[in-house]
Structure 1
Amino acid sequence: MSALHFNDWDDAPVRTTPPARPAPAQAGTAAPAPAAAPGPSLAPVNAADKRIVGGKTDINQLAPFKYPWAWEFFLKANRNHWTPLEISMAQDVHDYHHKLSGAERHVFENVLAYLTTSDILAMRNIGLAVMEKMSAPELQIYQARQVYEEALHTWTYQHCIESIGLDQQEIYNRYRVVPAIHGKIALANRRLERVMRPDFDLADRDNLHEFALSYFFFAAIFEGCWFYNGFTPIFALQRRGLMKGAAEQLQYIMRDEVLHCAFGIRVVRELLKEENLSLDPAALKTLWDEAEAAEAAYAAYILRDPILGYNADLHTRQFRFMANRRARQVGLAEPFPGAENVLPWLDEQANLRKEKNFFETRVTEYQTGGALAWE
């Protein structure tokens, strides 16, 4: 009787003796079909032939790279690995129920209500629209990581909501019933929905322009302004020693979003150059005006009563400053000339340094801490 053992990755038994030799074919039975002849060989991939969209090279062959910077984004993203369970929310529970004013609870709840929906929208846009249309695998592999990170961010908001004991149905429905929150989501859906279609033909130059404008909106405005600016009310609480656990989680999310924005802007710049394409100034102006109006309405709602050190006017002015920065990064004219950086401490939030573990019990070399360099 042959011996059996179990390997380390499967419960199925593995025999250590060779299988019995098959019996010879009996008369009248069909002989085994001959092995198929190998198919014709293919030409090797030339990195210079890769393109951001519409490339004809093998999408399954990662290297040689044409866009090595995309691979570097993937490596850097993996050094910012974390989960929400590693950050204690115990003090936040006490703060929310015993220290926050009514206005501060209103701010906290509605920021979470907006972010929970926004990150799911971001995940779907990358996974269903952008990633599917990229034809260089080094671009797709970073975007696969980005899809995971958007899911991780959604988990983080859910963890905050659940830890504090908020009414999940009520919080998650606010984007549908609160006009100022719904307005931002509706604008994003309108700007992104057409390019999500799998039959959206990028060989058509008008469609290609719409795709570039849509991706610019997503990377530079949705992630680069709305997200970057969107965490600020919670950071304003953190600066006063309140809701520090939630704020720390948002700092890690912000680091992800900084990379998402930088990657998207780099893709837009390369795409415009590669396709000899220019974004229409009139279309850009409409885009910026819509984005500013939606952000101002949102700020007026979540900060209808100012909180100490922060108000709706600061929020909207900071959006304009960030909008100018994102436009310059793409090589475009500033949409709001003269806008000032009214919250200079905001950029510091992306430069979190972690020298102890999250529960402050021992010194660690947690990868998220000192291993990352931020642009």
Structure 2
Amino acid sequence: MSDVRKELMKPRPIFNPNGNDDPAKRGILYGDTTNIFNLNVIKYEWAPKMYRAMMANFWIPETVDLTQDVQDYKELTDDERQAYDEILSFLVFLDSIQTTNIPNIAAYVKAPEITIDLSIHAYQEAIHSQSYGYTIESVVPPEKREEVYYWWRKDPILFERNKYIADIYQKFLEEPTMENYGEVLIGNYLLEGLYFYNGFMFFYNLASRNLMQGTADIIRYINRDEFTHVILFEHFLKDLTDENFKKYLPKDKVYEMFKIAVDQEQRFSKKVIGNNILGMNEKSIEDYTYYIANDRLKRLGLEPIFPDRPNPYEHLERIADVGGEGNVKANFFEATVTSYNQASAVEGWDEI
């Protein structure tokens, strides 16, 4: 007896002149649209709102001056400098594979209004990769740069977590089943919504002490992009569930992947930050990871399964939430995107 899960998905055709663009006849993964981006004929009302929000955040890393960071880098403690290097190595790796993988997700999406969002998503991941490279090339001494880019090759904890996500993406590429597609979507959601955040807090922590403020500004730009990516995949996954996708991604599988991601995030962050960075420690890392993971589960309509911990970095998240509304992040997680400010509005850190 054939298993429906082993049936291979078919990517949408590039040219489909006989397609039907009636919104009532399309889903995220089913339908027969022409592939024309007629954004006046849509099914998913949230998709064009996401597009406008993502486009409003256009930025390039070279506009951020890292001159002072070069000097600050020399003033960091050995532990701070090590954490700075390793976290950058981790981030540049993951956003590099994101840039490559998002088009693989998009290739099977039948709703043009979502496909165009994913195109901007992939573009932003390329900007993020460039940004990390720009930071490494500008701040890290020349003799260390190659080591930073390839730290994952010699660090077993870093290698393990990079390989975990990369293997999920590769498995779908080699065997594009619905079940593997579901794992890719959750892997992507975990990467965007969980894997980066202790690292982001490390940079904000330095900036709150008037160190590496240029780097932190770049992270703020990236952080704001990631908020929209998280919301994009919240909508994506919720609508897929409504479209009978649940059987391809059982709840126990989602929880299993979350548990692995939480363990990896805590082990890596405790190793590179630990108890040696002023303002952060292993307890705050553990609390923050549980806090973020429970929040992400609730956003997907699932019950939280991790210990209920308060947010130990609320003061640092307020630094990240630029825009003058006090809590931009809260607006990002509404059912619709109601507030988003252009990157050009980001100010310096003189108010800290």
Q: TM-score, normalised by structure 2?
A: 0.83
Contact 2:18/2:34, CA 8 A, preserved across alignment: no
Contact 1:209/1:277, CA 8 A, preserved across alignment: no
Separation (CA, whole Å) in 2 of partners of 1:340 and 1:59 = 45
Separation (CA, whole Å) in 2 of partners of 1:243 and 1:370 = 20
Aligned counterpart in structure 2 of residue 140 of structure 1, from 93, 111, 115: 115
1:297 alignment partner AA? R
Separation (CA, whole Å) in 2 of partners of 1:104 and 1:42 = 59
Q: CA distance change for structure 1 residues 209 and 165 in 2, over 3 Å: closer, same or farther? A: closer
1:104 alignment partner AA? E
Separation (CA, whole Å) in 2 of partners of 1:181 and 1:263 = 27
Secondary structure of 1:193 counterpart: helix
Q: Match for residue 7 of structure 2?
A: none
Match status 1:70 vs 2:57: no
Separation (CA, whole Å) in 1 of partners of 2:47 and 2:196 = 22
Match status 1:368 vs 2:343: yes
Contact 1:175/1:182, CA 8 A, preserved across alignment: yes
Match status 1:237 vs 2:206: yes
Secondary structure of 1:67 counterpart: coil
Contact 1:288/1:335, CA 8 A, preserved across alignment: no
1:60-80 deviation line (CA, Å, top 9, x unaligned):
343301113111111111111
Separation (CA, whole Å) in 2 of partners of 1:159 and 1:329 = 33
Aligned counterpart in structure 1 of residue 287 of structure 2, from 314, 317, 320: 317
Aligned counterpart in structure 1 of residue 89 of structure 2, from 96, 113, 116: 113
Q: Match for residue 261 of structure 1?
A: 230
Q: Which has the higher contact order (CA 8 A, sep 6+)?
A: 2
Contact 1:103/1:305, CA 8 A, preserved across alignment: no
Aligned counterpart in structure 2 of residue 216 of structure 1, from 162, 182, 186: 186
Q: Match for residue 101 of structure 1?
A: 77
1:314-362 deviation line (CA, Å, top 9, x unaligned):
12321111011110011011021412212112432442239xxxxxxxx
Separation (CA, whole Å) in 2 of partners of 1:44 and 1:55 = 8
Contact 2:37/2:113, CA 8 A, preserved across alignment: no
1:94-122 deviation line (CA, Å, top 9, x unaligned):
1011x211111011111101011010011
Identity of aligned residues (%): 25
Separation (CA, whole Å) in 2 of partners of 1:367 and 1:340 = 30
Shift of 1:189: 1.4
Separation (CA, whole Å) in 2 of partners of 1:209 and 1:132 = 16
Shift of 1:53: 0.8
2:267 alignment partner AA? A
1:324 alignment partner AA? N
Separation (CA, whole Å) in 1 of partners of 2:202 and 2:269 = 10
Secondary structure of 1:145 counterpart: helix
What stretches of structure 2 of length at least 5 have no aligned partner? Answer: 1-16, 325-340, 347-352
Aligned counterpart in structure 2 of residue 246 of structure 1, from 215, 222, 244: 215
What stretches of structure 1 of length at least 5 have no aligned partner? Answer: 1-40, 201-206, 355-365
Match status 1:160 vs 2:130: no
Q: Which protein is bigger by CA-based radius of gyration?
A: 1
Q: CA distance change for structure 1 residues 114 and 216 in 2, over 3 Å: closer, same or farther? A: same
1:1-375 to structure 2, matched below 5 A, reads 42=18, 45-63=21-39, 64-97=41-74, 99-127=75-103, 129-166=104-141, 167-197=144-174, 200=176, 207-219=177-189, 221-275=190-244, 277=246, 279-353=249-323, 367-369=342-344
Shift of 1:305: 4.7
Shift of 1:124: 1.4
Separation (CA, whole Å) in 1 of partners of 2:302 and 2:194 = 15
| RMSD, aligned CA | 2.1
Q: Higher helix share goes to which structure?
A: 2
2:212 alignment partner AA? M
Q: Match for residue 13 of structure 1?
A: none
Contact 2:290/2:308, CA 8 A, preserved across alignment: no
Contact 1:216/1:265, CA 8 A, preserved across alignment: no
Runs of 4+ in 1 over 6 A off after TM superposition: none
Q: CA distance change for structure 1 residues 80 and 137 in 2, over 3 Å: closer, same or farther? A: same
